Structure 1
Amino acid sequence: MDKLILGRYIPGNSIIHRLDPRSKLLAMLIFILIIFWANNLITNLIMLIFTLAVVLLSRISLSFFFNGLKPMIGIILFTTLFQVFFTSGGETLFSWGFIQVTDYGLGQAALIFMRFVLIIFISTLLTLTTMPLSLADAVESLLKPLEVIKVPAHEIGLMLSLSLRFVPTLMDDTTRIMNAQRARGVDFGEGNLIQKIKSIIPILIPLFASSFKRADALAIAMEARGYQGGDSRTKYRKLSWKRADSLTILILILLGICLFFLKTS
């Protein structure tokens, strides 16, 4: 639990830390869009160099990024192996029944693996260099123009900020429940896959119960204090878009244009 990355902020004074959270959020979304244009060796090498350069600019240890990668390694390997064994096309290198390995499948698997890793690195960078409440304010600010079509921007930002705020609390509750279950003789590591899944049920039920109880208490507390969202509320943290933020978005756009012309048709 102490290696959880979601909602974790590493204080710093790097160039990445000083960027407006709105620009970092927009930059991440642009990065996720343009990475699908990286479909050959050159374009993937460009994206890898760009990602490593941004990580170095953040002055954050690479160990944090690998910790962010660990929870997703199962999904990455499954997707990669699925591409290897079930993608047809190209020269067949190995065949056994309906399973075949081709050079095209290996190439697609490498692309999928690279995309997963780079996207996780960039999203982890956003989380580590941006305070959760600032990230929620950024989401609310970016959704503000959509209020004309009745999109509840403030409510969405509030839900996001509360969710991020209570992630560490939920992890503490999970640890406390697991320790209580271990004291009663439950071993979460024994048995086959079905038995391990069944052993999680004694954790989920009290965790859901405590979460609903905490949410109800929070709602009552907000109502008792006369909470009212929207334009009538002022903000302690003011977002400020600077020249560096515009330059960041411009660099991502230029990177996207470069990938578009270098990608394989």
Structure 2
Amino acid sequence: MRLMTWNINSLRLRLPLLARLIEEQSPDIICLQETKVPDPLFPAQALRELGYDHQHFMGMKGYNGVAILSRHPIRALDAVPDWCGKSDTRHIGITVETDRGTVTLHDFYVPAGGDIADPAVNDKFAHKLAFLEEVTSWFRKNPPVRSIVVGDLNIAPLEHDVWSHKQLADVVSHTLPEIERLKAWSDTGFVDAMRLVVPPEQKLYTWWSYRNRDWKLSNRGRRLDHVWLTPDLREHLQDVAVLKDVRDWSSPSDHVPVIVDLALNPA
């Protein structure tokens, strides 16, 4: 079973790029973030024509939005909280049947947090921290089993998840309050699948700012996109790949897709 997660930064704008990725990578299930499309305008038929008859999505006009597309039957999770009471379309989940049993898949878009790493003066940063705390509390009360979390978690937790640990220590996405909260969330029952494949001492990025005129030359990236597995799925992990070349495509997202291969056959 091949999963792909990607902050697409506007689904309708980058639908041709998604079609190209599907042709090249042939994922069974696609998780998207920042779809930026309200549900009535979601391009469901165009995605069916690409082979994804099974869809679960939640979006709003102009920003946020998440979607899960599947070639195989899926069932939407019913009891998904309205995080921070904002109804801002940042999380959906599904279950999928495989030859090894049911797997639960969560697709998250964590708030970016603004520019100032101080919740007292930056409401966006306060929201980010509160969001992470609520999610962590929910997973503690609902311990994950045979579960996967993917998405743009907007935090680069490890030293080599950023281009300069020293220079970014006080920059939103790599600050200690965010890292501590992300670790508390992952400690509810997950392992970092990407770092099982790429050792923590190696640089690994999934995002490069649009502000970098030559993103490849400067390579000032961050690993903001993540794949977590519960330990009961770890034995099925075959590979994780960051599709860095997609950042060079025409009109790209500032994030690149991540591919996850699991030794599971969808039912």
The verdict on a shared fold, with TM-score over 0.5 as the criterion, is no
Structure with the higher fraction of residues in helix conformation: 1
User: Structure 1-normalised TM-score?
Assistant: 0.26
User: Structure 2-normalised TM-score?
Assistant: 0.26
Structure with the higher fraction of residues in strand conformation: 2
